[in-house]
Structure formats: structure tokens, C-alpha cells
Structure 1
Amino acid sequence: MKLQITMFFAIAISIYALMHLLAWWGVSPLFSGHPLAAKVLLVLLVPLLFSMPLIHMFEGAGLVGIARAFAWVGYTWMGFIFLVFVFSALAGILHLLFYTAAKISPGFPGISIQGVFTAKAILFLVLALCLYGFYEAGDIRVERVKIVTGKLPASVKSITIAQISDVHIGLINREAKLKKIAGMLRELNPGLLAATGDIVDGQTDYLDGISSLLKDLDPPLGKFAILGNHEHYAGLSGSIDFLQRAGFTMLRDEVVTAGGVINVAGAEDRAAGDGAPYLKSTQNNLFTLFLKHRPLFDPLTEGNFDLQLSGHTHRGQIFPFNYITALNFPLQDGLYDLPGGSKLYTSRGTGTWGPPMRVFSPPEITFFEIVPE
């Protein structure tokens, strides 16, 4: 795991550095004639560039206050610089097009996109989007989905399920976020609560007491959770302990029947499918809910479940990153039909990872109503 984390940071910092270089191209005209300001910014950029491993180091050393301060500053900067990079890249493309057109056609007017006006426009747009992004991150929406099935017992008129995913409880998302989520769930009053991974995203020894905010929720059919990739990063035993103290039944490549009316299966988080053989042991006459963190369909599971609930993608979290996540996870947002009559729903997530902002990808709690045909 240490080697994986080191490799992750090495790759991430390399990409992050290239992002900063292109972002600098977009805003550098503002520093023309101000060499001292440019040098000060360069000095400040060093800890920001290495903020991810520094946050990890401080958190691991138990310096939680410093880690939280670094997380707020470093991750906010991450969101800011990503948007500067996006607009700088667009300006760069336009600049290249005008330059090429002028070379090909001598009569074409030479237009330079790079300049003080462009730099000011980039910063204005980015600051506006960041402010909006902070607001959107706190604006948790309830998405309502109705699923029709022929697998409900005759005595059951409907089953309601609430899904939370990707809350990322840790240095940034803490008591206030969890209180809001718990309050919304209490109002929805679902029959079953499903947590589809990445609920925890921090070392749990400083999260004592927070789990009790979810423990008070007591849906009649139970609370079920699976692990995401971030529970592995945060520490598997601590993450499992946190979720169990919050009252969740952990499902790790297993299936249970809840209240005698619905099968609930949960998969371990893995990049490749394994066929989920435990799905074949379900009661075929009952509706089968399949919890799987990553929104991937394994052909070997075709016809073995009715509804798969996933998360992981955040739908990119900050536009236009959703186009990048779609390359790996084309089923990244909403309800999809699968072969064999199954369906898959991918949540945009309930919290945030990294930057405490969302742009055109609002957080959600999903409320499903399973009704008879």
C-alpha cells in the first residue's frame, strides 16, 4: 500500500505541475513588470504543489489541526488552479488557431489571445465559479427514482431505499456535513439505507463521536454499507469500525435477505469483476439490490440482480472534469438499463473529495421507491 501511495503522489504531482505551467501561461501577463510578485507567488506555489503528500504526512503524524488547515488551503487551491488551467487551455487553443490561420493566410489579421484582458477575464470567471462551487457543494439534492418490479411479495406495497455515497468524512467533511445528511435522511424516512463506499476518507482515530450522527437512524429493513477505494487508503480496520459504530451492516462479497422481502448484496471494491458468485445464492423470487462502489457492469453477473447502486465518479465534481471520468466510467451519472433486465444507478456522491466545491455536479441523496408492476 505504501508503494501504491508513493506512486500515486508521484504521478499526481507531475500532472499537477504541468497543470500549473499551463495555468501560468494564461495569467502571467498580469505579472509583467512585477518580478517580485512573480517570485513571491513561485515561493508560495511550492507547498501548494506538494499539498497532497504534506496533508497525508501531517495527518499520519497526528497533527490533525495542521493537516486540516493544509487541506482547506491546498484543496481549495486545487479547485482554483484546475479552473484556471481549463480557461487557460481554451485561451491557448484559440491563440494557436489564430496564429496558425495567420501563418497559412497572410491576409488574416494577427490576433494574440494572451494578454492582460484575457488574464483578468480568466481570474474573474474562476473566482465566480469557485464561489458558486462552495455553495453547490453544500446544496445536497434529493434525487427520486421509481423502479417497477414483479419481485415484491404480495403483502408489500413498496420498498423505499435511500442511497448515500462518497461522503468522504475526514479533514474537511465532518460534523456539519454529517448532521445535514442525517437530518435529510430522517425526513426521507426510508425503509432501507445503503452506503455505497468512500464514506470515510480520513484516519478514524480523530473522528470519534461523529459516527453517532448516523447511528440514530434506524430504518426497518436495516442499514448496509460496502467499502470504496478511500476506505482502503484511510485504513481498512478503522474504516470498518467507524461504519459498524454508525450502525451499518458491512457487506463484503456477500448477500443477505432483509426483512424477508429484499435481497441485499455487497461487493468488495476492485477494478476488475469477479462474477460475484454469491449473487447466485439469492432468493430468485425476491428483488435483489446489488451495492458496488464503482459503476462497472460485470457480464458474468448478467441477470443475477435487479438494481445495482454505485458511486465513485462524483460525475467529475468540477466541470468539465466529468468528460475525463467518463472515459473510465461511461455509466457515471443516473439510471442505466443493463443486459438481462437489470438496472444500474450511479450517484454523483453526497460529499466532496479534495476541493470543497462542486461545479455543475451537485451532491445528492438518492431516494428509490420500488413498486410492484
Structure 2
Amino acid sequence: MVFLVLGLLFFLPWWTLFVSGSDWPLPVFLIGTVVFAAGLVAFPFLMARGHGQRRDDRAARAADSTLGVVWVLFTWSLLGGVVHLVLIGFGVGGTGTARSVAVAVAVVSAVLLVLGHHEAMRVPRVQRLDVHLPRLGGGLDGTRVVVLADTHYGPIDRADWSARVAEAVNALDADVVVHAGDIADGTPVQRREQSAPLGTIRSRLAKVYVTGNHEYFGEAQGWLDRMTELGWDALHNRHVVVERGGDALVLAGVDDVTAESSGLAGHRANLLGALEGADPERPVLLVAHQPKYVHQAATAGIDLQISGHTHGGQIWPFNFLVRIDQPVVHGLSRHGARTQLYTSRGTGFWGPPFRVFAPSEITLLTLRQGTGPATPGTTANPSTEHTADPAEK
């Protein structure tokens, strides 16, 4: 099945660009065919070498970039093919039309890849949002929560990017800083230089971190220890309490939902353990990597869950596939009578160094007392969630 999907990903762009009635000169056809064939053959070996036991960063960079390029080409080849069929239906066919479609697909894909790479590599824009929590005490009104998620330090050395992200966070003068998981692809030793700037991030009240699913591909406990070393509170199924103006807020965190299947002793998403000893009258901000954990959060009456994981889809139209697995792709949504969920698009990127129609973000949530305006996606049923981002509808 994997090789069938892989073959289709490479076949459709090759067919659209170099066959499909375009009748290119033989040298053009041969060069295109050789390039696609070489990519198809090399890709599995590059993936195995780059993301397997050897963890060869050069191979991983090549494999990840190839995956991003072929995904974009596949998407726009599919759309180009539909346009081509429509044109044929209207009697506008022939070699000229086929070549025009092929050139359009190539140009659109190239432009999106250039812009997408820029989007992936730049310091994210700051998204600002007020979140109203009825149980929030007046002393905590205006609390500034900065959210990072899915930094994915990886095969591309982004130590300088990491330092500039830390500077951007510090400029926001946060009371609380949250890292919602998927800190890196690799071990703490491999990504030590890239993660070091996290130690320079400042906050008035707390800096908290939870594991994402990618930590369980490597050394999850090692990343918990590394973040503690950098001055963060690793919320390994536990909570801390922050106070201001005589009012308190519980900051709780759970391991990723994949933790239990990792086989690591003591690692699983345990909300009861995270809230053990917490005053039930105090509002709770829960950090859980995957949005779908909001089912448990809503049942427990959590006030606000912060998540990442989705990347907003990262490369359109992957957001529609993400929506099959997750209740929300991006934004603020309500679940049940009390619980709100904020899902970040993520600060970095996974794998392919591209973001297409899914910009990265650093999020500034300002907590406000009271009900405020209606939260998008409101539902009375805690088991039913809706995306809050109109672009996803």
C-alpha cells in the first residue's frame, strides 16, 4: 500500500507534465522521466537513512524536501487534470491545451513551493486573541499567555531561527508561556543547539511544556529532562498553580495520547493525575498536544485547552485529511457547556520545509474575565466539536 501510494504521487505529476497529450520533444520527455524515476527510486532509501536508525540529517533533508515538492505537484496536477478534462469537454483540446495545462501546473507549483519555503523558514507572525473565561478571577484578568507548538527542531539547522523566535516571545511580555509539544524530530543531544534558545525565554509566572507524539519517536523522557534543564515546568501529568491579584489559575498538562503505546513506564495521558490535589473551584488551563483530547477535557469541565499538532494542515489541501482525525484544525472553539479549545497552527514545520496556505504562528492569548462574545463553534454537546477557523469550512 505504501509503495502504491508513493507510485501514484510520482506518476500523476509525471503524466500531467510530460505525457497527457503534450507531445513534448523527446529530450524534454526523457529528462522529465529520468528525474521522476530517480526521485521515486531514491525516496524510500533517503527516508530510511534519514529517519531510521542512522538519523542522517542530509538524507532526511533530501527526503523531506522531495516529499513536499511531489505533494504540491500531485495536488496541482490533479486540479490541472480536472481543468484539462473540462476544456476537452468544451472542445478545447489538442497538444496546445495539454502543454498549457502542464506549464500552468509547473508554474503554480513552483511559485507555491518558493512562497511555502519562505513561510516555513521565517519567524512566525503573532496571532492575538482574547479568550473569555467565566471562572477567571478579576486579579487574573488580562493574563497574557504565549503559545508555542510544533517547533520540530530537525534535520535543517534552525538554531538562529530558534533564537529569533525566543526574542519574539520575549517582546510579548508574557505572564505564561506554553509549549504544546512536538519540540523536535530527534534526540535532545542531536537538537541541543537548536533547543538552547528556549532557555532564554522569559515569563512572569510560568513556562510550561508537554510532550507531543514526536517525542515518543525518540526520547520523550529526555525531552522532559531537557526542558526542565532549560527552566521550564515539564507538566508530565501534573499541574502548577499561578497567582496574581489574589486569584489563582491551575496550569495542567498531560502526556500525548500516543504515550501509553510507547511502552515508556509512567507515560500516558492521565488527566486525573494531572489535576490531583487541584482546587476544583479554580479555573483550569490544560495543555494537551492533540486537539482530540478535548473530549476528556470537556467531560472534566476544563475551562481552556491549548493544543497544537495539526499545523493547520501545513500544505494545502492536507488540512482536509487532518480534519478526519482531529475535531479542529485551527482556532478557538467551544466544546460542551464550559470548555474552550485553542488549536495552534504551530510555530515550526514537520518534515517538508514548506507551508502552503497554512501560516505558522506564535499566539498571544489574553485571558479575560466573564463570558465575552460567543465563541465560534459553540455546541452544547461535549462530544461534538467544530472548527473555529472560517477558512477551514
Q: TM-score range by the shorter chain?
A: 0.7 to 0.9
- Secondary structure, aligned partner of 2:82: helix
SS of residue matched to 1:336: strand
- State the secondary structure of the residue aligned to 1:200: coil
Counterpart of 2:11, as a letter, is: L
SS in 2 for 1:366: strand
Q: 2:201 aligns with which of 217, 239, 243?
A: 217
Checking the alignment, whether the CA contact within 8 Å between 1:282 and 1:288 is kept in structure 2 is: no
Q: Is the 8 A contact 1:197 1:293 kept in 2?
A: yes
Q: Where in structure 2 are there 5+ consecutive unaligned residues?
A: 261-267, 371-393
- 3-state SS of 2:171 partner: helix
1:105 counterpart residue number: none
- Per-residue CA shift, 1:11-55, capped at 9, x if unaligned? 3x5423321111211112376513642563223442234432221
- CA-to-partner distance for each residue in 1:94-115, whole Å, 9 max, x for gaps? 445566x5xxxxxx63735873
What residue in structure 1 maps to residue 388 of structure 2?
none
Comparing 167-176 and 205-214, the one that deviates more:
205-214
* SS of residue matched to 1:261: strand
What pairs with 1:159-238 in structure 2 (closer than 5 Å)? 159-172=143-156, 174-238=158-222
Q: Does 1:282 align with 2:278?
A: yes
Question: Could you tell me how far apart the structure 2 residues matched to 1:72 and 1:92 are?
Answer: 30
Shift of 1:182: 0.2
Q: Which residue of 2 aligns with 1:53?
A: 48
Larger mean Cα displacement after TM superposition, 219-228 or 22-31: 22-31
Measure how far apart 1:127 and its partner are: 0.7
Which residue in the other structure is 1:266 paired with? 253
Instruction: For 2:269 and 2:119, locate their aligned partners in 1 and report how far apart those are by CA, in whole Å.
Output: 37
Aligned equivalents of 2:130, 2:297: Cα separation in 1: 26
**One-letter amino acid of the structure 2 residue matched with residue 18 of structure 1:** L
**Alignment partners' CA distance in 1, 2:135 and 2:116:** 41
CA-based RMSD: 2.6
1:205, 1:238 within 8 Å by CA — same for their partners in 2?
A: no
Distance 1:118 1:95 in 2: 7
Work out the number of aligned pairs and report it: 350
Any idea what the Cα deviations from partners look like across 1:302-324, whole Å, max 9, x if unmatched? Answer: 25211100010101101121111
CA deviation map 1:112-165 (0-9, x unaligned): 587322222111111111111122121511111112234344444431111100
CA distance in 1, matches of 2:12, 2:30: 21
- Conserved in 1, the CA contact under 8 Å of 2:149 and 2:182? yes
Residue 5 (structure 1) aligns with: none
TM-aligned CA distance change 1:39 to 1:121, over 3 Å? closer
**Cα deviation, residue 342, structure 1:** 1.3
Superposition deviation, residue 361 in structure 1: 0.8
Aligned 8 A contact 2:14 2:32 in 1: no
SS at match of 1:188: coil
TM-score normalised by L of structure 1: 0.85
Change in 2 beyond 3 A, CA 1:125/1:327: same
Shift of 1:220: 2.2
The answer to whether the 8 Å contact 1:303/1:340 transfers is no
Check if 1:308 corresponds to 2:297.
no
Instruction: Find the counterpart in structure 1 of residue 91 from structure 2.
Output: 109
- Aligned-pair distance for 1:327? 1.7
Paired position in structure 1 for 2:11:
21
**Cα distance, 1:341 vs structure 2:** 1.6
Matched residues in 2 for 1:283 and 1:367: separation? 26
Do 1:295 and 1:329's aligned partners in 2 also have CA atoms closer than 8 Å?
A: yes
Give the conservation status (yes or no) of the 8 Å contact 2:57–2:155. Answer: yes
Identity of aligned residues (%): 28
- Does 1:140 pair with 2:124? yes
Question: Which is further off, 225-234 or 41-50?
Answer: 41-50
Deviations 1:206-249 (A, max 9, x none): 22344331112231211111111101112223322332222221
